[in-house]
Structure 1
Amino acid sequence: MPPRRAGWSRRKRPGATRLLRVALPALLACAAGTAAAQPYQDLTHDSKVFGEKRHYRIFLPRGYETSTRSYPVIFYFHGHSDRYTLEKYDDGKDTVPKIAAFTASHEVIVVAADGYVARDYTGFYGGAPYDVKRDGGQYDYGEYFLELLRHIDSSFRTLPGRRYHATSGLSMGGFASLYLSARYPDLIGSASAFNPGPEFYVGEPGRRSLWRPKDQTSSHGHTMIRLIRASGDYISQYHEETRAAYAAAPEVDFEFRQDEYHRHWATSIGETFEFHVRAFQNPKLEAPPKQWNYSSAQRRFSVYGYSVSSGIEGAGLTFLRNVSPGGFGLRTRRWSPDGPAAACSSLTVLTAPLYRPNAPYQVADYKVESGTSTKTETRADAAGRVSIELDCGAHEVSLTGPGAELLPPSLLPLSELGPFRPMPGAPIHLPLHILNTRTAPLTNLSVELTSSYPTVQILKGTAARKTVGAGATADLSGELSVQFTAGAGDFARTRLDLALSFDGGQAKETFDVMVPPDPLPAPAEVVVLDGATRTFSVFRQTGNQGGGASIQRTVTEGAGNGNGRLEPGEAATIWVRLPQGLDPFDKNNWCRAKVYSSSRWLTEEDDIQEDKQREWTGAQNRTSLVRLSRKTPVEEKIPLILDCESWSFSFTPDVRFGAEPLYQAFQFHKHHLFEWNWATK
């Protein structure tokens, strides 16, 4: 057996583990006569997370009982209402035989995990697994997954290291595969998802955060990812949005497959497990990344040897970006991807043991909000780790000392609140700021802006600075100008490239912007709720075969004098009347808007998350509570983009996928964008 990876900790019970390793081969050999009829074992193990024995089904490769070889492992996660038996949807006639056939012909172990949460199930089958509801969190399924992984590694002959650990799953299990592999990228080398659920809640009880794979692709920068979609899957639009996000992430080793099939199902299990076999053969997955990004909804987490501990109050996520021996960027957000900084009492980053033990180091902390840089002296501990205290704002941190790499200048995000959204059709100056994280001045900086997109016209693409001070930024926002061209529809993701030359080297930065459509119409009618009560007609779907009608909804929202005008110091929601929503029956109904603004006087105070009517996906309708600063100047005008989402079940019974008719109505959604100007007068 190959040696275990250094530093990999396990919960070992020496006597029990040795007994199991000795007894299990004999037990399986005794069962060899029935292996053809039942090519798996249903077993249990003790879980501290759940406080009970947990079930799993294990498929062992042919010859495991008599060999001495060690094997890689694929952890498979079932969908809603199913369990580790994988039999709810098909009576065990499809998924189980396909997994058994694969392990019979490949040297791979497959473990079917159990997502069962008694509180959320009505019986052995029938419920929401993995504890991902908004009011959940009592059972951290991520911590449970670590228990299961350690149990499998200590009880069976498995190969050590992230390269040989994979996750896969269907629907909610596809979400679990993507979430767990993103949460533990140092343990999981490859992940696949069949028609994954688009979003669910993660984090501790009472402070759960909505987690969407399409917002967190950067956590998979060193993981092989594969998405599989059935063409007739009822939530295909969500799958396409997830696919587009991964396809646009150049750092992710990504592939996609679409199968012609009429149901929400795992359609190409054997071919997808071959993808994981390719990952098991990829030596690049063994080496730790030189630079990485990561996000977590937990107050405390460890990844790639780094440990972060925070006192974040309420829901919130912590983002680490461009982490290397030279430093890192840190952001917190109350919600992802565009929330404001979380509130916290403290935040501590303890680095991996990358530095010389007990050696002195200088830590430079650039605080993005204030544009100021501070320097402190510290020492690595006896293990070579450096502890850095921060607040919950936006930081760019660099280290100087033995083993700390000299960082190149870097481009700060164009917007600290989600993607930058430039208006099309007119020249604009991009708000570009280049940060010198060094403790010494940077000289001879020059930049060149380019884009491969035909919708981008670079009007002025070069700029230069003779000197950029230590811990300072070069403000290029008045120098580089572009013009975007857009069509009708939704926001269009557009990519630009920035080449940097400076004393001692070169670097390249890539960034995306979201360009609004053109034209951007005015809304038919707007109502502002600043502490007022109003009854609106809203659309209600009849069921999952289409149809619907208006119902009345009475709401009291915002905080102010209730006169229907957002005034300085007040908070409000903004409602828009849609002459026609996506559904044919959705006419002249109202919707609360998501609000986008680049004004420093207007802030999004809350991301209002509500279940979409009659959706089965867990997807949320996300809208805004905004607040206007008390310091807003008189006669100030603030341009806003209002985003209202409508949705519909689309059922076309005469449509076939291969020989099969459409099984379920598609769930579609559409964003309706409007331009609206707020003014004090």
Structure 2
Amino acid sequence: MMILKNSVIILGKNNGYARRLLAGVLLVAACINAYAQPARKAIIEDRTHYSEVFRETRNVRLILPPDYYQHPERRYPVIYYFHGNAGRFNGPAEGEVSRSGEARYYDEFNGNYERCGPDSLDNFATYVAGHDVIIAKWDGYVPAQYPRPYDIAPVKEDRQFTDYFPEFVRYVDTHYRTRAYREARAVSGLSMGGFMSMLVASKYPHLLSSASFFCPSASFTVGPKALQIYTPFKEMGRNFVGLPIRMHLGSKDFLRQHDQEIDQAYKTLELNYESWHYGIGYFRGFHNAVNIQSQFDFHMHYFRMPLAKPEKWHHIDVFPNFSVWNYDVKSDRKIPGFTILDDVRREGFSLHTKQWLPDGPAVPNLAVNLTSDSIYPPNTRFELIQLEVTSRKISRTSVTSDAKGRIQWNGTGLQTNVGLYLTGDAGHITMATYTLDRQMPAVGDIVTLSPLLFNKGGAAVDSIRMELIAQDEEVEVMDVATTIGKIAQGALHEKTGFKIRSRNANLDRAKLKLILTYNGKKDQFLLEVPFYSPQSTLVNFKIADGQNVNLEQEKQTRVGEGNGNGIANPGEWISIFTKSDLDSLHDFGLQLYTKDPYVAMSNRRMLFFGRNDWSGAQRLTSQVQIRPDCPDGHEIAFYGIYEYPKTGNTRRDSHGAHSFIRETKRVSFKVKVKK
């Protein structure tokens, strides 16, 4: 006999049927429990270590596979994860959601659905429990600035977390059984941490196999405190050549519009890039780290099948001194700006600087030293040929590699294309730049684009096929391909042109790809062509020539250099401001372009003003000088771009904040100069 009493099964003596029935019940219960409760549970360890970079003790969290300590022979790849605003290395696990910038706790499920979200399996611990991988979380905590992490936007204390990252990696590699090499490392992050993931990955592609970003901030002011500058990642995509990247975008994320710009830009750059757009089925489409499995499966794929080092690579860096792919670059830059390396490979490289992205002028009076990777025969004499692109001046010298096979080059911040070859080497053709036959083309204009080809190899090239392909659907290439004859060693070719036309009035920059085929090999170059297509004529605007303007964050701010009467006079530095239909309280500055000879566009400045949208993005406002010899009554025709906010009514999350939407205006107008 079997009696159920107070939820306890009591068996009678010699009751074989009851015992068999009980065994069946217990087996079913065990199966149900095994399904409900994961058999393996990840290990979460919180530790501290002393940082030589910060000269203080820092917190770290490690999430380890359940059997990590049972198999001392095993080594694991590592995903380095960076938290967002108001987050910490450890979550935080509890507390009111409205008081945390990270709206959910995603390290593990702690039983609180409001804090962890509706899916108890969508977290780091669950992922690590089912995969042989370690997740390492640093702490972006800066005491004087909390809840804002990472000492960025603005840089106040010169705490450079990009300098800390290699030290953090060394700590994890030293204290845990990792696969301590590039192919077994990845980075990921949410929001501000997503920006840090982009920043770290763009600076150290040689240390990583992949990178991912959950709803990242698309831009911030970063760099050394004295040289910090606005850094928009939609302009930095080519840093990721050879490094697979992935981004999550939420349909109701307040950063969605900024991240969509990155998404659109990166899809035209020939990258190993993918994106995932999610809606209300994942945490209601809000700003968060969700669908962790698919994001981290991306990293696991490239742990198993890592990409080789790219044959040629590109790099933009905000720091005056940096190392990437074993190349060392040093400069005496004393003003904010960017150093840009293009088309870096054994045959040479291109180097130039910009005071801002994407179209700032070069940094003047700069001395640059570059030391190459150890890719050349040691103690060997090479011929070095270089083209100063703007002047078209070509010079030659000889250089000798050191005992490690490295070559040094000294130059300036002006755009320079450098070739290296030995006697007997084949010719090598590069595209140094391009020219247009029309200044400031607009939608519908047929413009001729002429690539400047430079043979910086060791011999002549007899025949080159040139093919130009549009990366944008709304750009038409009328002359698709042509073949040109011999280019002598050290010679330039700029006679071949391609007719192109933009069919989209909202297109600021057309993305194109030039393919060169010669000597049995094929090479490609990406280029951008600006178009200037006004949607309307701007009638109401203010000339800031030393006048106060009312800005969103800076409030009353004096802008421009002049007598402050709101009239453009010869010799004054002016900016242009206007109102928006939805915000009559603030002034919005314009980015300015003109082909007028009485405005020196090569000397223009860029001002960066804050925005009230939590995005980290800034409003760019040009400042241009009217030449002192500008005649009285002369009218200057400008093309301008400005953005103004269109605050939506889509709730972002339980913070109660709203999504932030903006609209871009492209306008034309004239400014009359008076003495």
Indicate conservation of the 8 Å contact 1:192/1:225, yes or no: yes
Determine the C-alpha separation between the residues in 1 that align with 2:435 and 2:108: 49
Residues 232-631 of structure 1: pairs in structure 2 closer than 5 A: 232-260=252-280, 261-262=283-284, 263-284=286-307, 287-401=308-422, 406-413=427-434, 422-438=441-457, 440-445=459-464, 447-451=466-470, 455-460=474-479, 466-468=485-487, 470-476=489-495, 479-487=497-505, 490-501=506-517, 506-517=522-533, 520-530=535-545, 532-534=546-548, 554-560=556-562, 564=566, 566=568, 569-578=571-580, 580=581, 583=582, 586-587=583-584, 590-597=587-594, 601-603=600-602, 605-613=604-612, 615-629=613-627
Q: Does 1:56 align with 2:60?
A: yes
Matched to 2:125, the amino acid is A
Task: State the Cα distance separating 1:429 from its structure 2 match.
Answer: 2.3
TM-score (norm 2): 0.82
Determine the C-alpha separation between the residues in 2 that align with 1:70 and 1:403: 47
Q: Does 1:644 align with 2:656?
A: no
Q: Find the counterpart in structure 2 of residue 8 from structure 1.
A: none
Determine the C-alpha separation between the residues in 2 that align with 1:557 and 1:641: 20
Q: Find the counterpart in structure 2 of residue 16 from structure 1.
A: none
Q: Find the counterpart in structure 1 of residue 15 from structure 2.
A: none
Q: Does 1:674 align with 2:673?
A: no
- CA deviation string 1:523-555 (max 9, x = no partner): 02233333x425x566x69xxxxxxxxxx9655
Determine the C-alpha separation between the residues in 2 that align with 1:159 and 1:308: 29
Change (3 A) 1:290 1:618: same
Indicate conservation of the 8 Å contact 1:465/1:474, yes or no: no
Determine the C-alpha separation between the residues in 2 that align with 1:454 and 1:306: 37
Indicate conservation of the 8 Å contact 1:332/1:342, yes or no: yes
Indicate conservation of the 8 Å contact 1:75/1:112, yes or no: yes
Determine the C-alpha separation between the residues in 1 that align with 2:256 and 2:222: 23
Indicate conservation of the 8 Å contact 2:42/2:64, yes or no: no
Determine the C-alpha separation between the residues in 2 that align with 1:498 and 1:675: 32
Change (3 A) 1:557 1:246: same
Q: Which of 70, 76, 85 is equivalent to 1:80?
A: 85
TM-score (norm 1): 0.81
Indicate conservation of the 8 Å contact 1:325/1:405, yes or no: no
Determine the C-alpha separation between the residues in 1 that align with 2:459 and 2:632: 43
Q: Find the counterpart in structure 2 of residue 170 from structure 1.
A: 190
- CA deviation string 1:216-252 (max 9, x = no partner): 1111111111111222212211121222222222133
Determine the C-alpha separation between the residues in 2 that align with 1:368 and 1:136: 38
Matched to 2:237, the amino acid is T
Determine the C-alpha separation between the residues in 2 that align with 1:454 and 1:94: 40
Q: Find the counterpart in structure 2 of residue 20 from structure 1.
A: none
Determine the C-alpha separation between the residues in 2 that align with 1:293 and 1:270: 31
Matched to 2:511, the amino acid is R
Structure label with greater radius of gyration: 2
Query: Which range moves more in the overlay, 631-640 or 293-302?
Result: 631-640
- CA deviation string 1:590-648 (max 9, x = no partner): 422111345674235322111113x2222211111113456779998764321121013
Change (3 A) 1:130 1:612: same
- CA deviation string 1:192-221 (max 9, x = no partner): 111111212222121112222211111111
Identity %: 26
Task: State the Cα distance separating 1:153 from its structure 2 match.
Answer: 0.6
Q: Does 1:203 align with 2:219?
A: no
Change (3 A) 1:666 1:160: same
| Secondary structure, counterpart of 2:70 in structure 1 | coil
Change (3 A) 1:602 1:402: same
Indicate conservation of the 8 Å contact 1:649/1:667, yes or no: yes
Task: State the Cα distance separating 1:161 from its structure 2 match.
Answer: 1.8
Matched to 1:84, the amino acid is F
Task: State the Cα distance separating 1:458 from its structure 2 match.
Answer: 3.9
Indicate conservation of the 8 Å contact 1:301/1:308, yes or no: yes
Indicate conservation of the 8 Å contact 2:547/2:565, yes or no: no
Matched to 2:310, the amino acid is P
Determine the C-alpha separation between the residues in 1 that align with 2:244 and 2:444: 39
Q: Which of 57, 66, 71 is equivalent to 2:70?
A: 66
Change (3 A) 1:587 1:139: closer
Matched to 1:524, the amino acid is V
Matched to 1:527, the amino acid is K
Matched to 2:492, the amino acid is T
| Secondary structure, counterpart of 2:129 in structure 1 | helix
Change (3 A) 1:458 1:269: closer
Determine the C-alpha separation between the residues in 2 that align with 1:635 and 1:82: 57
Determine the C-alpha separation between the residues in 1 that align with 2:68 and 2:520: 56
- CA deviation string 1:479-538 (max 9, x = no partner): 432332224xx4355333434455665544343334444x631102233333x425x566
Determine the C-alpha separation between the residues in 2 that align with 1:465 and 1:349: 34
Task: State the Cα distance separating 1:137 from its structure 2 match.
Answer: 5.3
Matched to 1:299, the amino acid is P
Change (3 A) 1:537 1:118: closer
Q: Find the counterpart in structure 1 of residue 120 from structure 2.
A: none
Task: State the Cα distance separating 1:563 from its structure 2 match.
Answer: 5.9
| Secondary structure, counterpart of 1:173 in structure 2 | helix
Determine the C-alpha separation between the residues in 2 that align with 1:225 and 1:345: 33
| Secondary structure, counterpart of 2:194 in structure 1 | helix
Indicate conservation of the 8 Å contact 2:550/2:557, yes or no: no
Determine the C-alpha separation between the residues in 2 that align with 1:177 and 1:679: 47
Determine the C-alpha separation between the residues in 1 that align with 2:514 and 2:41: 60
| Secondary structure, counterpart of 2:259 in structure 1 | helix
Matched to 1:591, the amino acid is F
Residues 6-21 of structure 1: pairs in structure 2 closer than 5 A: none
Determine the C-alpha separation between the residues in 1 that align with 2:132 and 2:216: 27
Task: State the Cα distance separating 1:85 from its structure 2 match.
Answer: 0.3
Indicate conservation of the 8 Å contact 1:361/1:379, yes or no: yes
Q: Which of 145, 148, 167 is equivalent to 1:120?
A: 145
Matched to 1:228, the amino acid is H
Change (3 A) 1:307 1:514: same
Residues 34-45 of structure 1: pairs in structure 2 closer than 5 A: 39-45=43-49
Q: Find the counterpart in structure 1 of residue 249 from structure 2.
A: 229
| Secondary structure, counterpart of 2:84 in structure 1 | coil
Change (3 A) 1:73 1:461: closer
Determine the C-alpha separation between the residues in 1 that align with 2:140 and 2:246: 22
Change (3 A) 1:638 1:496: farther
